Structure 1
Amino acid sequence: MRARGFTLVELVLTIAVAGIVAMISVQFIQSTSQGMIDTAGRQQLASAGYVVNEQVSRAIRDALPGSIRTTSDGQCIEYMPVVAASTYTDLEVGSAVTQFLAVPYSTATAVSGYISVYPMTAANIYTQNDPGPLTPDTGSVPASTAEITVTLGSSHTFPTDSPERRFYVSLAPEAICQDGDFLYRYRGYGFISDVSNLKAGLPSNRAGGRTVLAYPLETASLNFRYLPPTLQRNGLVTFQYALVHPSTGESLELAQQVRIHNVP
Structure 2
Amino acid sequence: MTRARGFTLIEAVVVIVITGILAGVVAVFIAKPVQGYVESTRRAVLSDIADGALRFIGRDVRMAVPNSVRVDASSHYVEFIPTEDGVRYRVEAGGGSSNILDFSLSTTEAGFDVFGVSPVSASVGDYLTVFNTGQCSNTTCTAACGNLGANAYEGCNRRTLTSVISTLSGGVTYGTGISFTATSNPLPFDSPGHRVNFVPSTGPVSYGCTGTLGALDASGNGQGQLKRYTGYATGAGTWNALTQPTAFATGTNAVLADNISACTITYAQGVSQRDAVLSLSLTITRGSESVTLYHEIHVDNQP
Please indicate the TM-score interval, normalised by the length of the shorter structure: 0.7 to 0.9
Aligned partner of 1:106 in structure 2 is: 118
Q: Percent identity?
A: 23
Aligned partner of 1:133 in structure 2 is: 157
Q: TM-score, normalised by structure 1?
A: 0.80
Deviation at 1:160, TM superposition (A): 1.1
Deviation at 1:27, TM superposition (A): 2.7
Give the AA of the match of 1:70: V
Query: Separation in 2 of the partners of 1:189 and 1:39?
Result: 40
Aligned partner of 1:78 in structure 2 is: 79
Q: Is the 8 A contact 1:109 1:143 kept in 2?
A: no
Give the 3-state SS of the residue equivalent to 1:107 in structure 2. Answer: coil
Q: Which sections of structure 2, spanning at least 5 residues, go unmatched?
A: 1-9, 91-99, 137-150, 168-172, 212-223, 234-238
Q: Check 1:62–1:110 CA distance in 2 against 1; reply closer, same or farther (3 A cut).
A: closer
Determine if the alignment matches structure 1 residue 115 to structure 2 residue 163: no
Give the structure with the larger helix fraction.
1
Q: TM-score, normalised by structure 2?
A: 0.71
Give the 3-state SS of the residue equivalent to 2:296 in structure 1. Answer: strand
Query: Separation in 2 of the partners of 1:158 and 1:114?
Result: 13
Q: Is the 8 A contact 1:229 1:260 kept in 2?
A: no
What pairs with 1:19-38 in structure 2 (closer than 5 Å)? Answer: 20-38=21-39
Give the AA of the match of 2:152: I
Give the AA of the match of 2:256: L
Q: Is the 8 A contact 1:234 1:261 kept in 2?
A: yes
Give the 3-state SS of the residue equivalent to 1:213 in structure 2. Answer: strand
Aligned partner of 1:253 in structure 2 is: 292
Aligned partner of 1:209 in structure 2 is: 252
Determine if the alignment matches structure 1 residue 46 to structure 2 residue 35: no
Compare 142-151 and 175-184 and name the one that shifted more: 142-151
| Residue-by-residue CA offset, 1:32-64 (whole Å, 9 max, x unaligned) | 211110111111122212211221111111111
Query: Separation in 2 of the partners of 1:143 and 1:216?
Result: 48
Deviation at 1:139, TM superposition (A): 4.5
Q: Is the 8 A contact 2:76 2:264 kept in 1?
A: yes
Aligned partner of 2:301 in structure 1 is: 262
Query: Separation in 1 of the partners of 2:79 and 2:205?
Result: 6
Q: Is the 8 A contact 1:91 1:100 kept in 2?
A: yes
Deviation at 1:116, TM superposition (A): 0.8
Compare 186-195 and 97-106 and name the one that shifted more: 97-106
Determine if the alignment matches structure 1 residue 238 to structure 2 residue 285: no
What is the CA RMSD across the aligned residues, in angstroms? 2.9
Q: Check 1:239–1:200 CA distance in 2 against 1; reply closer, same or farther (3 A cut).
A: same
Match of 2:166 among 143, 147, 170: 143
Give the 3-state SS of the residue equivalent to 1:192 in structure 2. Answer: coil
Aligned partner of 1:175 in structure 2 is: 206
Query: Separation in 2 of the partners of 1:86 and 1:262?
Result: 16
Query: Separation in 2 of the partners of 1:139 and 1:225?
Result: 37
Q: Is the 8 A contact 2:117 2:174 kept in 1?
A: no
Deviation at 1:94, TM superposition (A): 4.3
Query: Separation in 1 of the partners of 2:291 and 2:297?
Result: 20
| Residue-by-residue CA offset, 1:204-251 (whole Å, 9 max, x unaligned) | xxxx40111111111xx2222122358943222111111123xx3311
Query: Separation in 2 of the partners of 1:75 and 1:111?
Result: 33
Give the AA of the match of 2:78: I
Give the AA of the match of 2:247: A
Q: Is the 8 A contact 2:65 2:80 kept in 1?
A: yes
Deviation at 1:182, TM superposition (A): 0.7
Deviation at 1:21, TM superposition (A): 3.9
Determine if the alignment matches structure 1 residue 188 to structure 2 residue 188: no
Query: Separation in 1 of the partners of 2:270 and 2:73?
Result: 19
Aligned partner of 2:89 in structure 1 is: 88
Count of aligned pairs between the two proteins = 244
